Amino acid sequence: MNINIKMPKLKFGKIKMDTVDELEDVKIDYEKLQKENLKQKRTEPYETTNYKTVKEFFTRAVKEYEDRPCILEKPDHKEPYKTYTYKEFGEDVNALGTAMIKLLNLKDKKIIIVGETQYGWYLSYMATLCGVGIAVPVDRELPLNELENVVRRSRASAIIYSPKKADDINKIKELVPEVEYFIEMKSNKEINGKDVGLLNLIENGKRIINSGDNSFMEIEIDPEEFKVLLFTSGTTSNSKGVMLCNRNLAENINAVNAYVKLYPTDRLFSVLPLHHTYESTIGFLLPVAQGCSVAVCEGLRYIVPNLQEAKPTAVLTVPLLVESIYKKINETIKKSHKEKIVNSMIHITNGLKSVGIDIKKKVFKEIYDNLGGNIRIIVSAAAPIDKKVGNWLEDIGIMFLQGYGLTETAPISALTPEYKPMIGSAGKAVVQAQIKVNNPNENGEGEIMIKSPTLMLGYYEDEEATREVIEPDGYFHSGDIGYIDEEGYIFITGRSKNVIVTQNGKNIYPEEIEMLLEKVDEIKEVMVYGKSPEGENAKRKDDKELIITARVIPDKDKIKELHGDISDKEIYDIIWNAIKQVNKKLTSYKAVKELEIKEGEFEKTSTMKIKRYKELQKDKK
């Protein structure tokens, strides 16, 4: 699943810290604040839910929160957000599901959903999960040949697509004639051969329901039935088809509810692609289960204005986005010459918070306003993140949580409990899961093994691959390397398939070195790998010692700001000198021995991880 992410230049307002001058006028009920703080002290999980299917919590939410906002979407960039209530969303889901079964005969068939995040995507996914058939969410960035491959491999009977995908879909019609229907989002097109508009189906579905046909709503869902097919991003190998059931998805909701409290007043901000299970499960199904609303981001370049308009309370994201926001806000603070007062107020407010008095939102109001004003939670997952970013967010009063999981675990298997966070860890095993370290080394590191009700049914049409990763006792080989501390917090140190093994048996995890190099101002992105010695680098013919190499994309904007207009040779020298300083923090066998400057972008997965195997395949070619 290819996504070449290029972070836009984020623009935040000037930080004046005027609120600090007003603090003397703030009336604080110290006794009340301390009592509230004591109430919040807990060490055990919250009482959680026991959902078995998505339809169970969806039906309940539509009934209980019918007049509350559910989905917020911008019709176009110039118009304000349009709000769909739970009642509207529920009626549209039931109408779409009814029409897909009654008019298109798609019951129990595979349905591909492809397109950018929008109301029609949410409708299609929920209708499919609640009784139509098997949902196959697909990356909208797939090139035509890979999209064709997914259509063929899944044997899809229908494709629901956004208008922006129309050109590719027209080609798929000729390439894969077995597909029965092509359903276009945002279209009123009547059924014409294989083509029909999603809005037309909703309209016809409502007519069928109004005639007295409630058969779709009455469909009972088997929690164990195969309902979702997800093709993995394949950062280390070709994609596999992951089969999920309703129980997998519902157990994610139960798991999160035990560690994190969400309320109907919460609003999540959807910035990640919905075909990824992290966003579709935790960014969509979870808020629906809790009666929250979801505001759709128009795209990366609109993050800041969308945040300020939607005013979300929670954002699910990945390290690249969090770090970009962190860097940009701190640059703004520096340009405003307010870094000393911000650091001073962090120390003061941390001291007050330790005795139960939290005035961070008042003190750092301008930072909050840049993010919409209501942010209380930021969740980062999919890759490691620099601890200083998480600590800074906590310092200004934003709850920073980390999650861990894979597509195979639908995705959550570990999460930071909000009542006892541990910055830098990937969280604790969720209440239903058992997580252990397989064959730990002297440092307690080994492969993370997961046993959980969120674990997939298996790989699609690949029993051998399923047996390779799931042991007879139910434990799943995650492929991640890490350790678990005495309190049960999990720390991921690398991927087993990325590990570089030295001739004397030492293991080097590239991710550890990359996190240090990413702190260098002049480095935009970096991939560390073990290069086979060639030519002059090979001391002798049988020398097989790999050369630790850093492939770097320079941050040319930052370089220009810091060093002015300089030559490529000077850029190389500056970065190499910075790497030598990083090497001093590493044991000798981990030190980077070679630097490669890369032009352009790394090929990435939908969660913005570099596709290492693709990058190294290019070298072989």
Within 10 A of 69 (CB to CB), how many other CB atoms are there? 20
Conformation bin of residue 212: beta by default, left when phi > 0, alpha when psi is -120 to 50: left
What token pair was written down for 198? 């999603």
Looking at residue 595, its pLDDT comes to 96
pLDDT tens, position by position, 308-318: 999 999 999 98
> To the nearest 10°, the Cα dihedral for 176, 181, 184, 188?
150
Q: How much is the pTM?
A: 0.83
Backbone dihedral angles phi then psi of residue 411, each to the nearest 5 degrees: -110, -15
In sequence order, what are the residues at sequence separation of 6 or more whose Cβ sits closer than 8 angstroms to the Cβ of residue 457? Answer: 224, 226, 243, 244, 245, 248
In sequence order, what are the residues at sequence separation of 6 or more whose Cβ sits closer than 8 angstroms to the Cβ of residue 535? Answer: none
Structural domains for the chain: 22-42+266-495 (3.40.50.12780), 85-245 (3.40.50.980), 500-620 (3.30.300.30)
What is the Cα 364 distance to its own chain's centre?
27
Task: State the burial class of residue 547 (Cβ atoms within 10 Å of its Cβ: 0-12, 13-18, 19+).
Answer: middle
With CA atoms as reference, report the closest residue to 247 among 559, 456, 96, 403.
456
Distance CA 509, CA 532 (A): 17
Tell me the residue type at 66.
E
Looking at residue 4, its pLDDT comes to 36
Looking at residue 15, its pLDDT comes to 74
Within 10 A of 67 (CB to CB), how many other CB atoms are there? 8
b/e map 323-348, b = 16+ CB within 10 Å: bbbbebbbebbeebebeebbeebbee
Contact between 253 and 260 (Cβ < 8 Å): no
With CA atoms as reference, report the closest residue to 528 among 445, 424, 616.
616
| Alpha carbon separation from 463 to 150, 348, 525, 550 (Å, rounded) | 19, 58, 37, 38
| Alpha carbon separation from 304 to 77, 267, 287, 378 (Å, rounded) | 13, 16, 22, 15
Task: State the burial class of residue 473 (Cβ atoms within 10 Å of its Cβ: 0-12, 13-18, 19+).
Answer: exposed
pLDDT tens, position by position, 317-372: 988 889 888 988 998 898 888 889 999 999 999 998 888 888 999 999 999 999 99
Looking at residue 431, its pLDDT comes to 96
Looking at residue 7, its pLDDT comes to 62
Distance CA 380, CA 315 (A): 9
Give me the residues of the chain with pLDDT under 50, please. Answer: 1-5, 234-237, 536, 538-542
Distance CA 388, CA 225 (A): 43
530 bridge partner residues? 548
With CA atoms as reference, report the closest residue to 321 among 335, 310, 306, 334.
306
Looking at residue 533, its pLDDT comes to 79
Three-state SS at 356: coil
Looking at residue 3, its pLDDT comes to 33
Looking at residue 28, its pLDDT comes to 57
> Does residue 411 have a cis peptide bond before it, meaning omega lies within 30 degrees of 0?
yes
Looking at residue 466, its pLDDT comes to 96
pLDDT tens, position by position, 191-248: 999 999 999 999 999 999 999 999 999 999 999 999 999 987 544 446 789 999 999 9
